[in-house]
Amino acid sequence: MFKAWVLVLAVFAAVPASVAQTWPAKPMRIVVPFPPGGGTDIGTRILGQKLQEAWGQAVVIENKPGAAGIVGTELTAKSAPDGYTFMMGNIGTHAINISLYKQLSYDPVKDFAPVSMVADLPLLLLVHPSVPVKSVQELIALAKSQPGKLNFSSSGPGGSMHVAAELFKSMAGVDMVHIPYKGGAPAVADLISGQVPLSFATVLETIQFVKAGKVRALAVTNNRRSAALPDLPTISEAGLPGYQSISWLALFAPAGTPKDIVNKLSAETVRILKLPDVRERLLAQGAEPIGSTPEQLASILAADIAKYARVIRESGYKPE
């Protein structure tokens, strides 16, 4: 009897390894909790294409926008942890929403298995060309002369675009009005059309419009200049010393996804992000490729949850 139980245990212990060896055996999906065309979507498609080439299985990018990324994030949290559903989260979905929404339908730590950090996404402080300012200091002066008159667009309450603006308002001592959208792409679209005069958005989703002259970039939100726009100052350099606010992209799986599958996808993601053509594509669009172990991503997530809880508390912002 004892030998029989040992044999059974040995068989079950071998199952994860066999799963990892044969995975992926069918198409997988990566949920993007924002509309097509935004920074999260663009970065996901670059990675998804390379995963498909490496493994010979289709990688379906499924956009599920709504409620500041909550709709798609909740969908992923409730998906079967079978190694065929993942999501591209960002700083909003996994580090900010937990402090912003009291009735959040998912726990960014308990309901997910971290896979890999993908990229840092610095944001740009952008204005429509009709706005009569060409520097951060001129924008602050204009906002102070017209309190409550300047509107800014964002991807939704609590997203990286919104938090960057709230931090700017607080540090600059200005009063601007938040206009939330269901994702970065429509928020940028209304900036380009002139429906809103101001926005903070990732370099990844706006660099083409900056270079085409459809929007004017005043500064970058990181603490160092962007390789894609090296002549553009940081906000800290341009008038608000100490200012920094960035977003990031990271892969997550539903909690309970086999650890060996998570590790295999993490290692492949790190490998892909080191490829010269991938690095070139991401850097050219203002994204800084990272790559990490699941444990490193978990550590970054814990630090950012604490950081943005403090930022939100100090700003006093509450969703409408």
Q: Taking the domain 27-120+247-315, which CATH number applies? A: 3.40.190.150
Using alpha carbons, list the distances in angstroms from residue 170 to 82, 128, 166, 226, 315.
44, 22, 6, 24, 7
pTM for this model (two decimals): 0.80
pLDDT at 18: 57
Tell me the pLDDT tens digit for each residue of 86-102.
Answer: 999 999 899 999 998 88
Backbone angles phi, psi at 59, to 5 degrees: -115, 110
Domain ranges in the chain are 27-120+247-315, 122-238
Name the β-bridge partners of 151: 177
> What is the CA 220 to chain-centroid distance, rounded?
16
Instruction: Say yes or no: do domains 27-120+247-315 and 122-238 share a fold.
Output: yes
- The CATH homologous superfamily for domain 122-238 is Periplasmic binding protein-like II (3.40.190.10)
The residues near 198 (Cβ < 8 Å, ≥ 6 apart) are 125, 126, 127, 128, 131, 139, 150, 151, 152, 153, 176, 191
pLDDT at 4 over 70: no
pLDDT at 14: 47
The interaxial angle of helices 184-193 and 203-211, nearest 10 deg, is 20
Residue 5: pLDDT band by 50, 70, 90 thresholds? low
CB count within 10 Å of CB 16 equals 13
pLDDT at 202: 86
Percent of residues, the chain, with pLDDT higher than 90:
68
pLDDT at 19 over 70: no
User: Token match 């060409």: residue?
Assistant: 134
Backbone angles phi, psi at 227, to 5 degrees: -65, -25
pLDDT at 219 over 50: yes
The interaxial angle of helices 276-284 and 259-273, nearest 10 deg, is 70
pLDDT at 265 over 60: yes
Concatenated DSSP letters of 240-290: -TT---EEEEEEEEETT--HHHHHHHHHHHHHHHTSHHHHHHHHHTT-EE-
The interaxial angle of helices 160-172 and 294-315, nearest 10 deg, is 40
User: Token match 């990490």: residue?
Assistant: 292
Tell me the pLDDT tens digit for each residue of 55-114.
Answer: 999 999 999 998 888 999 999 999 999 999 999 999 989 999 999 888 899 999 999 999
Position 51: which residue type? L
